[in-house]
Amino acid sequence: MKKLIVANWKMNMTKASGISLVKSLSVKINRSNSSSPKVVVCPPFTLISEISKILKSSKISLGGQDCSTDSFGAFTGDISPLMLKDLGCKYVIVGHSERREHHNESEKIIKNKLDLALSLGLKVILCVGEKMQERKKGNTIRIITRQLQLSISKKCNNKNTIIAYEPVWSIGSGVTPKDSEICDVHNFIKNKSSQLSIGDKPFMVLYGGSVNPGNSKNILSLQNVDGALVGGSSLKLKSFLDIIRS
């Protein structure tokens, strides 16, 4: 199975810088061989339309960073999954820890987003993970179990849903869990997600949490790590290419 590398630009990039980066990245990825990882870029919504045009003939897929629980309506500032699909998105991230923290998103909201996105044909990248205080109390598995149970529905399968494990305490800190800890959590997520969904095939599980060129080769070589959700290191061509090539 090919690895999957997802760039989450978050609230970064101007129109000029975003277009420049994705053009350069597309040239490099289009020259890659068939065994290279699959790449998804998730820019801010303001750039999706322009970047979609650039990626029409590219090996790179386009994704959204979040979506609404509704397709249309009086929801000022929200972006529906239908709008993302209309602009050429194939993927959407839901449940990112920054959405949970800064926008108080509950598991119910996340599940509603996931269900609607799947019903419209988007592939969903569902983020789960524990905070530092939860980790210190030994509650990592309990927290992730709850997140999976309340978010995954019978619409999910290993083709339309991807899980991203993002230890919240690691994001942007430069610190990552021990290799054995990553393996243990990824193994648990694979087993648990397949129990909660259609069929019994395990889902792809990405690792997200301070992934950079210095640690990506090791992380991506670990058992049950099927790819990476990359934040800050996806904003520079060289660092993101180094991760893809690792």
The CA distance from 178 to 145, in Å, is 20
DSSP tag of 189: H
| Of 98, 105, 166, 186, catalytic | 166
In Å, what is the CA distance from 132 to each residue of 63, 95, 184? 29, 18, 17
Terminal Cα-to-Cα distance of the chain (whole angstroms) = 16
In a 13 Å sphere around the CA of 38, the CA atoms on its Cβ side amount to: 14
Measured CA angle at 165 (ends 98, 191), to 5 deg:
140
3-state secondary structure (DSSP) of residue 46 = helix
Q: Which two tokens stand for residue 84?
A: 């993302």
83 membership: H or E segment, kind and range = helix 81-86
Written as six digits, the tokens of 232 are: 């800050």
Query: Which tokens hold the place of 75?
Result: 């929801």
Q: Which residue among 50, 96, 98, 181 is the active-site one? A: 96
State yes or no: is 96 an active-site residue.
yes
- Annotated active-site residue 181? The verdict is no
Active-site residue set: 96, 166
